[in-house]
């Protein structure tokens, strides 16, 4: 079979490993870059800006997640690693999507199920490449798959359990518009059967829109009928599970994420002690409201994963007292008006960086919030140094950018790593 591996980043390399295992397959690596590192020896290639328009004659074109299907011109079948995994996986899949909280919720689900004695595979955006472990999965296992809109875009099957978290404007630099983005997200339930399960955020317009078109059994969270928080404890219906204090991650939004996780796992375990231990065992993910250090009585938190305005709003609401927040980066087509209004309500100072600095400044001005500085063309070390200068004693400095990282940084992890290094170089860490 003639197969084009379209896109050769991390996922493309996993796709190449998977399909090259069959010696009958003839693989060609296709990428818009004119040069690629780490090419397999002797690999056939089609490279250059118009590479994806030259794919006639291939039986299969395996697109990497971030590559829009509309950019591929071929007379063959467009496929993906996610499609292949869903078609071949022998175990039930719990799929998690949303604009924020996917990784945390997927991790909480996996943590609870592992305490319950299940063999769990955490794959997708947060875990290992799904195709790399496909041959190890047994029918008695469970898979928790974090699914981005890019992976869902053309997915031809849906997970047995779908979880749809809060959805807002996101990735509009890649998706044509919000309708296309939400339609992609909806693929998580589009192919579910009537006896499958959809857990969804009933307080979010887009999640409700997706649920309205689903034939699956539906659980809207938080709900007094299912998982919810009452008087400092998690409940499922009238059954008390445990104190919310067991949760090791900050923010009211993470209480919602925990409720979604409880709804998703209730079919597998209803033991309060198991759920409590699973919730408490998860310590949080890197670059997600991660405490870096306390320097000169100021706490520094790395929330570099926060690439949307609502993520930055949630971060601001996670801390009392004065705050300095570092905002900005490259554009994803986001609307910052609500963020500007939240800054007005908070005891906060904003340091605006990157290509989106002027856009965020405009939103701040519209909200009559003026306590900001624009620090374009500064290094992360200089930005953190300025944050330290303006931070009040016993306050919080947040890297919660509400924007993508590209331009200044390789990715959100690189941005977070540079922030952490800059914080640790400030001085004596308490």
Per-residue pLDDT at 99: 87
Supply 50's token pair: 């118009």
pTM of the full structure: 0.85
Angle in degrees, CA 288, 68, 81, rounded to 5: 70
Supply 310's token pair: 């609502």
Q: Please give the CATH number for the structural domain made up of 290-424.
A: 3.90.190.20
Per-residue pLDDT at 172: 63
Contact 164, 201 (CB under 8 A): yes
Residue by residue, DSSP assigns 47-112 as: ESTTGGG--TT-SEEEE-TTS-GGG---SSEEEEHHHHHHHH--S-EEEEE-SSSHHHHHHHHHHH
- Spell out the residues 6+ positions from residue 283 whose beta carbon is closer than 8 angstroms to its own: 248, 249
Start-to-end CA distance of the chain, whole Å, equals: 60
| CATH architecture for the domain at 89-281 | 3-Layer(aba) Sandwich (3.40)
Contact 278, 108 (CB under 8 A): yes
pLDDT digits (tens, 9 = 90+) for 47-93: 999 999 999 999 999 999 989 999 999 999 999 999 999 999 999 99
CA-based R_g, the chain, Å:
22
Rounded Cα distance, 311 and 317, in Å: 10
Contact 65, 151 (CB under 8 A): yes
pLDDT digits (tens, 9 = 90+) for 98-109: 988 999 999 999
Supply 148's token pair: 């981005």
Rounded Cα distance, 67 and 49, in Å: 13
> Under CATH, to which class is 2-80 assigned?
alpha beta
254: phi then psi, degrees, rounded to nearest 5: -75, -20
The domain ranges of the chain are 2-80, 89-281, 290-424
Judged against a pLDDT cut of 90, whether residue 128 lies above it is answered with: no
Per-residue pLDDT at 429: 45
The secondary element (H helix, E strand) that includes residue 372 is strand 372-374
């Amino acid at each position: 079979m003639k197969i084009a591996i379209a896109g050769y980043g991390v996922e493309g390399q996993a796709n190449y490993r998977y399909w090259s295992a069959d010696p009958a397959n003839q693989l060609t690596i296709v990428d818009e870059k004119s040069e690629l590192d780490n090419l397999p020896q002797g690999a056939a290639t089609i490279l250059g800006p118009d590479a994806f328009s030259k794919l006639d004659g291939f039986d299969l074109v395996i697109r990497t997640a971030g590559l829009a299907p509309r950019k591929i011109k071929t007379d063959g079948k467009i496929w993906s690693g996610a499609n292949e995994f869903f078609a071949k996986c022998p175990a039930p899949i719990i799929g998690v999507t949303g604009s924020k909280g996917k990784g945390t919720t997927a991790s909480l689900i996996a943590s609870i199920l592992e305490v319950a004695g299940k063999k769990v595979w955490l794959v997708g955006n947060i875990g290992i490449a799904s195709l790399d472990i496909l041959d190890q999965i047994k029918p008695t296992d469970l898979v928790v798959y974090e699914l981005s809109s890019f992976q869902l875009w053309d997915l031809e099957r849906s997970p047995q359990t779908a979880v749809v978290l809060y959805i807002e404007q996101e990735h509009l630099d890649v998706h044509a518009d919000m309708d296309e983005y939400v339609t992609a997200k909806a693929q998580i339930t589009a192919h579910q059967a009537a006896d499958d399960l959809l857990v969804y955020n009933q307080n979010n317009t887009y999640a409700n829109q997706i649920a309205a078109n689903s034939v699956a059994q539906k659980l809207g969270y938080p709900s007094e009928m299912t998982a919810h928080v009452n008087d400092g404890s998690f409940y499922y219906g009238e059954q008390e599970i445990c104190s919310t204090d067991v949760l090791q991650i900050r923010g009211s939004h993470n209480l919602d994420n925990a409720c979604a996780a409880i709804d998703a796992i209730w079919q597998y375990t209803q033991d309060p002690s198991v759920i409590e231990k699973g919730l408490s065992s998860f310590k949080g993910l890197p670059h997600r409201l991660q405490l870096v250090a306390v320097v000169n009585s100021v706490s520094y938190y790395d929330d570099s994963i926060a690439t949307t305005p609502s993520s930055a709003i949630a971060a601001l609401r996670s801390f009392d007292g004065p705050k300095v927040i570092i905002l900005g980066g490259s554009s994803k087509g986001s609307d910052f008006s609500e963020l500007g209004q939240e800054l007005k309500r908070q005891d906060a100072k904003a340091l605006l960086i990157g290509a989106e600095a002027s856009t965020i400044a405009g939103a701040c001005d519209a909200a009559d919030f003026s306590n900001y500085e624009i620090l374009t063309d500064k290094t992360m070390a200089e930005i953190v140094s300025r944050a330290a200068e303006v931070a009040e004693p016993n306050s919080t400095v947040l890297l919660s950018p509400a924007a993508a990282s590209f331009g200044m940084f390789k990715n959100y992890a690189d941005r977070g790593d540079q922030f952490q290094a800059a914080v640790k170089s400030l001085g004596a860490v308490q």
